[in-house]
Structure 1
């Protein structure tokens, strides 16, 4: 694989990974709510889930999902359910007083929640396929696909870690403390909208 092809794939994936969505939104919220360490742990979990979809996309599961309507619908329903659960959790947090907010979860739990959030989004595999298709062609070997997948996985990890660091910094924390209920409420609404979008996609396919 030449460097130009790799840069094309990496650039396309970076645009997808850095765009605001449930994963980046969740990373920002965890970082503001529970601090940098929790945000970084959550980001690592997100990157693991993203990497799993990347490996599956490289192995051809994306093509299987595109042709298997039942499997795709099932994954979308699971994803919608998880997004609704996240919306419920954010809504409950918005309704609490600051003193009633529960302490941060353990490291293992943040990692697990990050993995689950990205694994609950079957659209991630199509995002991977779109990025890989930007530079790779039908003649690309296993080695080229593997290198591209590895580089994109690193980009995903770096993206989440940057979100965690930025939103756990002093200015972001001060904004969160002043506007916590409003921010939690907005996040709850965005998660609910994302869940509704995935649910509609599953039921209208």
Structure 2
């Protein structure tokens, strides 16, 4: 249970941090309304599932073949989270206005859904985020069921995050607040990424820890 909670928290921080997909979803929520944004967000979530399957397949091979490969993967995942912390800290110290330009021409609901799917599938960096999050709660003794459970948890978290963006940013004035609070948001995200990154690296050298 604790391992799944760790995975959920790690994936939530990664998925909720400001990025192209979240900014696009927020913009659509404000310009096209909540319903269109929820459909677009569902597409984003489905796109994430694709990379989740890719990441889980790779982790499954690692878990079956080598404890040391898992250790290396955890170190790599920890360094990736620390790199994300650096980027967030940099944005916090030198905040810039978020680019909200996006093509909002009228489309069918299916087109909005597919646009979300394509956006996340076209970003192979997502597989790194998946592997980093899953590695937080997985240990060398975990089996395939534990890995599948971790993937399911991340899928649920992904849908929740995209849904939250759709709901919150469909209220008027939210983006204005978001722009003003950007420095603090990035600062908090940087701190969370740092803790998760060093925690993951530490767990790589603790054989008994997940």
Short-chain TM bin: 0.5 to 0.7
| TM-score computed with the length of structure 2 as normaliser | 0.61
Q: CA deviation at 1:61?
A: 7.9
Is 2:42–2:159's contact at 8 Å kept on the other side of the alignment? yes
| Residue of structure 2 equivalent to 1:145 | 147
Is 2:45–2:155's contact at 8 Å kept on the other side of the alignment? yes
Shift in alpha-carbon separation, 1:11–1:61, aligned structure 2, 3 A: closer
Distance between the aligned counterparts of 1:121 and 1:62, measured in 2? 22
Task: Choose from 22, 25, 40 the match for 1:24.
Answer: 22
| Residue of structure 1 equivalent to 2:160 | 158
- Alignment length, in residue pairs? 140
| Residue of structure 2 equivalent to 1:180 | none
Task: Choose from 65, 90, 97 the match for 2:101.
Answer: 90
Structure 2 gaps, min length 5: 62-99, 180-210
Q: CA deviation at 1:51?
A: 1.1
Deviation string, structure 1 residues 37-85 (Cα, Å, up to 9, x no partner): 110000000000011111110011899xxxxxxxxxxxxxxxxxxxxxx
Is 1:46–1:114's contact at 8 Å kept on the other side of the alignment? yes
| Residue of structure 1 equivalent to 2:34 | 36
Q: CA deviation at 1:36?
A: 0.7
| Residue of structure 1 equivalent to 2:107 | 105
Task: Choose from 2, 5, 8 the match for 1:10.
Answer: 8
| Residue of structure 1 equivalent to 2:129 | 127
Is 2:47–2:118's contact at 8 Å kept on the other side of the alignment? yes
| Residue of structure 2 equivalent to 1:51 | 49
Distance between the aligned counterparts of 1:20 and 1:144, measured in 2? 29
Structure 1 gaps, min length 5: 64-88, 94-100, 176-182, 184-205
| TM-score computed with the length of structure 1 as normaliser | 0.63
Kindly indicate which of the two structures has a greater share of residues assigned to helix: 1
Is 1:62–1:129's contact at 8 Å kept on the other side of the alignment? no
